[in-house]
Amino acid sequence: MHSRAPIDPEPVAESRRERKERTRADLLHAALLLLKDTSFSSLSLREVTREAGVVPTAFYRHFTNMEELGLALVDESFRTLRQMIRSARAEANAEHVIRRSVEILVHHVHEHRLHFRFIARERFGGVNALRQAIRNEIRLFSSELATDLARFPYLNAWSTEDLQMMAGLIVNAMVSTAEGILDTPIDRPEVEDEIVRTVEKQLRLVALAAPHWRSAGSAPAA
Instruction: Give CATH 1.10.357.10 domain extents, the chain.
Output: 70-212
Per-residue confidence in pLDDT tens, the chain, 222 aa? 555 555 555 445 568 888 889 999 999 999 999 999 899 999 999 999 999 999 999 999 999 999 999 999 999 988 877 777 777 766 656 667 778 888 888 988 999 999 999 999 999 988 999 999 999 999 998 898 888 888 877 788 899 999 999 999 988 998 999 999 999 988 899 999 999 999 999 998 988 888 888 776 555 544
Is residue 122 exposed (0-12), middle (13-18) or buried (19+ Cβ within 10 Å)? buried
Q: Supply the DSSP string of 108-176, one letter for each residue.
A: HHHHTHHHHHHHHHHTTSS-HHHHHHHHHHHHHHHHHHHHHHTTSTTTTTS-HHHHHHHHHHHHHHHHH
What CATH homologous superfamily does 70-212 map to?
Tetracycline Repressor, domain 2 (1.10.357.10)
Which CATH architecture best describes the domain 15-63?
Orthogonal Bundle (1.10)
Instruction: Give CATH 1.10.10.60 domain extents, the chain.
Output: 15-63
pTM of the model: 0.81
- In whole angstroms, how large is the CA radius of gyration of the chain? 23
